[in-house]
Amino acid sequence: MLEPRGSHRPTIIYRPIQPSDLEVLEQIHLALFPIRYERDFFLNVVHGHGIVSWAAVDGQNDELVGFITTRLISARESEIADLLRHRSSRKELMLVYILTLGVVEHYRNYGIATSLVREVIKYASSITNCRAVYLHVISYNLPAIKFYRKMLFKFIRRLQNFYYINGQHYDSYLFVYFVNGSHSPCSPLNIVAAVANYLRGLLKMLASKLWRNEETHIPVWSKCSETKTLLVTPNKRILGAENSACRVCTSQLT
């Protein structure tokens, strides 16, 4: 059940994230997510290097209370390429990938995340060759899953063992919101592609299980390096514990 909204609704202003947000942005990520992001990630966000982002700030004191960070990526290199129709003569198709979304607890359930995601949809729609906004949600994050369903994102598939956090595997859900007239196709070719994709995932999962069985014989130091951070990519993520973390592995799922 959702927390009841307070009687006083805050006035929220939406603007791009800027360098002065750096410290607070980092603190909020630390508070909201069970992992640490690389410093470079935050620097790229606040300087807009390859990342497009929005901040939600309280109009009364300019305090940062929410954020959304995104990256524009080539559809061909994404794991949802099979969902899109490619025409060779056309300009390369693009997608907007949501990297992180968060609202500080005290400001939740006021529609702030809704407004942030709408900004992203507006941005994606303004890019003529952009076909969708997509993201991954960890399978236990029910509020976020409910949120994306409410925003009419389409559930595409469950990715087994997508995340590896503090020594444990977690599945993720892949959600997509199509823009600019794009939609999930269902031609026989696409069905074959989807089945092939599923079988490939299954094989990868079996291979990783076999690999994990074997890895018990490998000394821990040979596969882990000292890091406390997460590299954010729209790829498979391996996240580490605070003190003994495995480096992120960025093997594409496609």
Ligand X SMILES: CC(C)(COP(=O)(O)OP(=O)(O)OC[C@H]1O[C@@H](n2cnc3c(N)ncnc32)[C@H](O)[C@@H]1OP(=O)(O)O)[C@@H](O)C(=O)NCCC(=O)NCCS
Q: Using N-to-C axis directions, what is the helix angle for 142-150 and 112-126, rounded to 10°?
A: 50
Q: Does 103 bind ligand X (CB under 6 A)?
A: yes
Of 9-17, 44-52, 106-114, 182-190: span binding ligand X (CB under 6 A): 106-114
| Residue 96, strand partner residues | 72, 133
> Does residue 113 interact with ligand X by CB under 6 A?
yes
99: contact with ligand X by CB under 6 A: no
Stretch that binds ligand X, among 87-95, 99-107, 196-204, 227-235 (CB under 6 A): 99-107
Site membership for ligand X, residue 16 (CB under 6 A): no
Distance between CA atoms of 66 and 108, rounded to whole angstroms? 9
Residue by residue, DSSP assigns 37-64 as B-HHHHHHHHHTSS-EEEEEEETTTTEE
Nearer to ligand X, 2 or 220 (CB): 2
With contacts defined by CB under 6 A, name the span among 16-24, 98-106, 121-129, 176-184 that binds ligand X: 98-106
Residue from 37, 54, 97, 110 binding ligand X (CB under 6 A): 110
- Binds ligand X by CB under 6 A, chosen from 2, 8, 181, 217: 2
Query: What string marks each residue from 130 to 149 as x (binds ligand X by CB under 6 A) or -?
Result: -------x---x-xx-xx--
Q: Which segments of 203-248 are extended strands (E)? A: 237-239
Q: In what order do the strands lie in the sheet with 63-74?
A: 12-16, 52-58, 63-74, 94-103, 130-138, 168-178, 154-165, 237-239
Contact map string, positions 209 to 248, toward ligand X, x by CB under 6 A? ----------------------------------------
Cβ atoms < 10 Å from Cβ of 9: 9
> Interhelix angle for 22-32 vs 39-47, to 10°?
130
**Judging by DSSP bridges, how do beta strands 94-103 and 63-74 pair with one another?**
antiparallel
CB of 109 to ligand X, least distance (A): 5
Interacting residues with ligand X (CB under 6 A)? 2, 32, 101-103, 108-114, 137, 141, 143-144, 146-147, 150
